[in-house]
């Protein structure tokens, strides 16, 4: 079950300073990394812990400079207050990815509490996005360094399993341990 994301806007027209965005980092890798940009601030969890002090524009500029494949999914505007505080609490709560917690967990919790829709059943980004589209929550989508992989302005996400995620986490942990011991 793959999912194709229609790329609706040019990246030059993105304004990460205002609005809610899901980002898919290393978009054609298995698995990709998922996080959010809310009103300019980047929120994510990784093997090294929570991230909430970086700006979304820095992620975009770094991806453009280094050739990293990136997708931004802009969600419809919401009247929800203190979204940045809510997301910061979620990334601090989940803290880091593990075999039980993926980078998608805080994103799903944020969507449930902010948009009042049930997304617990979505275990992967390719299961979450169809729910968001069905509920008319996607406003726009943008790509970076994926033009050559688009078919009729659509980017197809690769499917992956829980095992793929666990193998990726284990590989990152092995790499981090070897860097520490050097």
pLDDT in tens, 34-60: 999 999 999 999 988 899 989 999 999
pTM: 0.94
Number of separate domains in the chain: 1
* CA separation, residue 26 to residues 85, 89, 151, 161 (Å): 26, 25, 18, 16
Residue 174 is predicted with a pLDDT of 84
Average pLDDT value over all residues in the chain: 93
| pLDDT given for residue 81 in this prediction | 79
Q: What is the pLDDT of residue 172?
A: 84
Ranges under pLDDT 70 in the chain:
1, 179-182
Q: Of 109, 9, 98, 97, which is closest to residue 51 (Cα–Cα)?
A: 97
d(CA 146, CA 114): 30
Which residues does 106 contact at the CB level (< 8 Å), separation at least 6? Answer: 36, 43, 45, 87, 90, 91, 93, 94
- Domain span including residue 101: 3-181
List Cβ neighbours of 38 (8 Å cut-off, separation of 6 or more).
Answer: 19, 20, 21, 83, 84, 87
């Amino acid at each position: 079950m793959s999912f194709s994301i229609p790329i609706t806007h040019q990246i030059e027209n993105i304004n990460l300073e205002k609005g809610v965005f899901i980002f898919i980092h290393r978009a054609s890798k298995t698995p990709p990394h998922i996080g959010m940009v809310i009103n300019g601030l980047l929120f994510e969890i990784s093997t090294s812990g929570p991230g909430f002090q970086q700006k979304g524009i820095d992620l975009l500029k770094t991806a453009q400079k280094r050739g990293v494949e990136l997708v931004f999914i802009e969600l419809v505007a919401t009247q929800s207050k203190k979204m940045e505080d809510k997301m910061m609490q979620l990334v601090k709560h989940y803290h880091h990815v593990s075999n039980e917690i993926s980078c998608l967990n805080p994103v799903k919790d944020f969507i449930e509490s902010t948009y009042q829709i049930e997304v617990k059943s979505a275990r992967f980004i390719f299961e979450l996005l169809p729910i968001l589209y069905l509920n008319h929550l996607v406003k726009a989508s943008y790509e970076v360094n994926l033009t050559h992989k688009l078919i009729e302005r659509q980017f197809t996400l690769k499917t992956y399993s829980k095992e793929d995620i666990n193998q990726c986490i284990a590989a990152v942990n092995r790499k981090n341990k070897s860097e520490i011991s050097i």
